[in-house]
């Protein structure tokens, strides 16, 4: 058994995991206090701003470069984690217990407190070696990514605080890989939540009324599930495709009816759409309206979330940051694949500002447990990730 428990970086990681920054109603104060302490230990300047309000802090640690006039590097992570069902866990979800195999069980161990602490650990190692870089590095810790980042990154990128950082490139989170390869995500899907309010004939449950909300809903549901089936067919027919290459559709909420013998006058249904980077969004919105008319009309559509398509980050020789990152990973002999992230992260708000961003979480041979019960990360995997960042940061900060 390795001496994981006495490793300083493992100790700090576990300490951060024990802070229950869990939705809803998060108090970020303990996170800020912990991160303030880390910045002092590393000799980094720290600034805290509150673009989303007094309970939504953004922590910015800065390592000044030799040429601070150059565009800077932003290493981003989020402090918040999703809720847990403690009774479904074999270890307390905020105890950061480690078993004999070195598995550290905690909410946030994969998503994504690991990455934030790996940034700091890599900086500690580089500073110990006396390393300096051309570009300034900013390490940002943001709130509320797990609830769309509206009061976090989304509003932060619109502020003078962000503009002053002069960010030229951003690293953010990816996903663990079950294989012996590292995934780098250069784009994300576009997220739409589509809410249908379907009105129809009401009356006694013993009668066969025409144009009921249920009949119209059946039509809409059928059309939406056809889109879902199309994605399933593409994935099964072309093994080179991944989930990030297709659009996904899922029914997530249905509401309607008050009593067993009364036909409901209204049914409300919400669908979660994650749209591929090649999807024609304008055509899809028109298609949704056509289906509402075909279903019988008297249906309204609202979009609680309707993101715009954001261009992918270029991953070729014209992107010096990607070249620097890729070269560092090649020198380490890592197997690397590039992909479209099947979900969305705060990277989308950075890309929206025409700043290249890549998603990367250095976890291989690891089950994907983000948002799952018994989320864990193996200690050696965590430490290996630090070494990888220790090599990547010079590559991008000297680009």
Task: Give the Cα separation of 181 and 57 in Å (integer).
Answer: 35
Task: Give the pairing of strands 266-275 and 190-199.
Answer: antiparallel
Task: Give the Cα separation of 236 and 229 in Å (integer).
Answer: 10
Find tokens 């995934």 and name the residue: 183
Q: What radius of gyration, in Å, describes the C-alpha atoms of the chain?
A: 23
- Determine whether 136 is exposed, middle or buried from the number of CB atoms within 10 Å of its CB (0-12, 13-18, 19+): buried
Task: Give the pairing of strands 262-263 and 203-204.
Answer: antiparallel
Point out the catalytic residue in the list 9, 80, 111, 375. Answer: 80
Tell me if the bond preceding 112 is cis, omega within 30° of 0: yes
- 145 is a catalytic site residue: yes
Torsion sign (Cα): 384, 390, 396, 399: negative
End-to-end Cα, the chain, rounded Å:
39
* b/e per residue 372-398 (b: at least 16 CB within 10 A): bebbbbbbebbbebbebbbbbbbbbbb
- 242 is a catalytic site residue: no
- Please provide the DSSP assignment of 204-253 as one string: ETTS--SS-HHHHHHHHHHHHHHHHHHHHHHHHH-TT--GGGS-EEEEEE
Point out the catalytic residue in the list 144, 145, 173, 346. Answer: 145
Q: Residue 231 in contact with residue 246, Cβ under 8 Å? A: yes
Q: Which of 374, 351, 35, 392 is nearest to 170 (CA)?
A: 351
Find tokens 């990360």 and name the residue: 377
User: What residue spans of the chain are helical by DSSP H?
Assistant: 8-17, 29-42, 113-128, 153-156, 160-165, 213-237, 281-295, 320-331, 347-352, 379-397
The residues that are catalytic are 80, 145
């Amino acid at each position: 058994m390795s001496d994981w428990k006495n490793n300083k970086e493992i100790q700090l990681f576990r300490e951060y995991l024990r802070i229950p920054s869990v939705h809803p109603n998060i108090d970020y104060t303990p996170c800020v206090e912990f991160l303030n302490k880390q910045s002092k230990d590393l000799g980094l300047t720290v600034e805290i701003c509150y673009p989303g309000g007094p309970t939504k802090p953004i922590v910015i640690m800065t390592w000044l470069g030799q040429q601070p006039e150059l565009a800077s590097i932003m290493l981003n992570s989020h402090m918040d984690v999703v809720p847990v069902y403690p009774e479904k866990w074999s270890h307390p979800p905020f105890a950061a217990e480690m078993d004999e195999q070195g598995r550290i069980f905690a909410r946030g161990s994969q998503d994504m407190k690991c990455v934030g602490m790996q940034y700091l650990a890599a900086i500690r190692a580089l500073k110990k070696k006396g390393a300096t870089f051309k570009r300034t590095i900013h390490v940002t810790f943001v709130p509320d990514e797990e609830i769309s980042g509206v009061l976090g990154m989304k509003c932060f990128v619109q502020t003078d605080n962000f503009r002053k950082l002069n960010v030229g490139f951003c690293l953010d989170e990816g996903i663990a890989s079950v294989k012996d390869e590292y995934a780098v995500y250069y784009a994300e899907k576009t997220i739409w939540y589509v809410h249908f309010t379907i009105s129809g004939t009401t009356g006694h449950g013993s009668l066969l009324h025409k144009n009921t909300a249920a009949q119209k809903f059946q039509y809409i549901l059928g059309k939406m599930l056809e889109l879902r089936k199309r994605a399933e067919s593409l994935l099964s027919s072309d093994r080179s495709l991944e989930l990030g290459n297709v659009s996904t559709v899922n029914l997530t909420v249905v509401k309607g009816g008050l009593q067993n013998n009364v036909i409901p006058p209204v049914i409300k249904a919400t669908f979660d759409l994650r749209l591929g980077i090649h999807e024609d969004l304008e055509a899809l919105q028109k298609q949704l309206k056509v289906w509402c008319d075909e279903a019988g009309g008297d249906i309204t559509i609202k979009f609680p979330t309707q993101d715009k398509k954001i261009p992918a980050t270029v991953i070729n020789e014209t992107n010096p940051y990607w070249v620097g990152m890729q070269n560092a990973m090649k020198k380490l002999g890592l197997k690397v694949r590039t992909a479209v992230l099947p979900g969305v992260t705060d990277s989308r708000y950075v890309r929206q500002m025409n700043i290249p961003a890549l998603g990367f979480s250095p976890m291989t041979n690891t089950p994907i447990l983000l948002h799952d019960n018994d989320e864990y990360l193996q200690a050696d995997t965590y430490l290996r990730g630090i070494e990888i960042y220790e090599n990547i940061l010079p590559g991008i900060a000297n680009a």
